[in-house]
Amino acid sequence: MTSDVTYSAAGVDIDLADEAVRRLTPHVRSTFRPEVLSDIGGFGSAVSIPDGYREPVLVSGNDGAGTKPLIAKAMNRYNTIGIDVVAMCVDDIVTSGAEPLFFLDQITTGKVDPERIEQLIIGLAEGCRQAGCALTGGEIAEHPGGMADGDFDLSGFAVGVVERANMPSKSSVCEGDVLVGFASPGLRCNGYSLARRVLLDGRPLDQPAWTGADVSLGEELLRPSVIYAPAVLEVFNQLEVHAAAHITGGGLPGNLVRVIESNVAVLLHPDKWRRPEIFDRIAADGPVSEEEMQKVFNLGIGMVLIVPADQSARTIEIASQNGHEAWVIGDITSGNGEVRWLKK
């Protein structure tokens, strides 16, 4: 007589998933805001809109970390990749002036490993604390047969709120405005397929990232994304922001073109900001053309605010007070909706 087939024998272990939930619960609760009305274990997350809004608008965004999780797996270090996923989501929605309220995640893996799940959640919780939003729930999906036991992917989405009258409009971007760029010390989450192709060609992750580097190649590639949302919100609350762009896939030109009308153009001054060494290494080791670099990578700028020229100094000051280096990196001129680079 044959024994009954179980879900566990088919590759899905509910007991391991329950253990993972027990381990992650305190990390999740550490992020809760006063507006959170639900607890871990429910079927949905309930969050109230903060007091003080007359005409609140909810803004949402979802994202992942691209192929950066492959670096986390190779390094066997899982406690920072969650910061990256939160950054990608909250820094998208803050470009609308939205205060991030809550975040939900999706962890997909070939086999549930409670310790690794906890490490992923530690990163997500840290990202949420940095952004000021609550991690209110998520999903752990075990996909035996669809993914190898050690493989995983991590994604999520954020929801924020903004007063409708305070939302920026690209129609307000006008000639004479300037672009304030917030520094990005590394790749964030974009261009990793190209970066891995160039930098990991036979090079061990535990070796210096380049000659004279103070971190290993693995540490450089796993550097957590900066979260700009609190600083950007402070600028929105104090100054006049005509537009904001989160510099992700597509680089500066691909994202700035999304926030201007067809009657103006962006003129970038690449000599006005510091370009981190990793981008020069990728360009030289590929080799990768400068045109391709501009299309793929942030090149040292992770967030751009378009403001009136007379408010640029205060914008930079607020960025600095929040721990971000910032510069005036370009200006708005007449044009046809294009992004141009001033030659060095």
Does residue 31 have a pLDDT over 90?
Answer: yes
β-strand pairing of 243-246 with 339-341? unpaired
State the Rg of the chain over Cα. 21
Order across the sheet with 56-64: list the strands. Answer: 56-64, 152-163, 99-109, 134-142
pLDDT score of 309: 98
Portions of the chain given CATH number 3.30.1330.10: 14-166
Query: Virtual CA dihedral for 316, 320, 326, 327, nearest 10 degrees?
Result: 40
Contacts of 37 (CB under 8 A, 6+ apart): 46, 47, 48
What is the predicted pLDDT for the residue at 1?
58
Q: Which residue has the tokens 């999304």?
A: 258
Closest residue by Cα to residue 66 from 155, 147, 170, 175: 155
Summarize pLDDT for 310-329 with one digit per residue, the tens: 999 999 999 999 999 999 99
* pLDDT at residue number 344: 67
Tokens of 302: 């992770």
Q: Where in the chain is the domain with CATH 3.90.650.10?
A: 170-341
3-state secondary structure of 118: helix
3-state secondary structure of 142: strand
In this structure, CATH architecture of domain 14-166: 2-Layer Sandwich (3.30)
- Dump pLDDT digits (tens) for 52-68: 999 999 999 999 999 99
Q: Is the pLDDT of residue 293 over 90?
A: yes
Residue for token pair 């007063």: 163
For 178-222, write each residue's pLDDT tens digit. Answer: 999 999 999 999 999 999 999 998 889 999 999 899 999 999 999
For residue 204, what pLDDT is reported? 93
Q: Which of 234, 221, 240 is nearest to 323 (CA)?
A: 234
Residue 16 tokens read as 């391991």
Q: What is the distance between the alpha carbons of residues 64 and 62, in angstroms, rounded to a whole number?
A: 7
Which amino acid, residue 296?
Answer: V
Per the listing, tokens 């690449």 go with: 270
Distance from CA of residue 144 to its chain's centroid? Answer: 29
User: Could you give the CA distance from residue 46 to residue 39 in angstroms, rounded to a whole number?
Assistant: 9
Orientation angle between helical segments 229-238 and 312-321, nearest 10 degrees:
140
246: alpha, beta or left? (left if phi > 0; alpha if psi -120 to 50): beta
pLDDT digits (tens, 9 = 90+) for 140-151: 999 999 999 999
**Distances, alpha carbon 296 to alpha carbons 65, 88, 253, in Å:** 15, 16, 10
Backbone region of residue 121 per phi and psi (left: phi > 0; alpha: psi in -120 to 50; beta: other values): alpha
CATH of region 170-341, choose from 3.90.105.10, 2.40.340.10, 3.40.50.1000, 3.90.650.10 = 3.90.650.10
CA 20 to chain centre: 25
Q: ∠ CA(209), CA(215), CA(218), 5° rounding?
A: 60
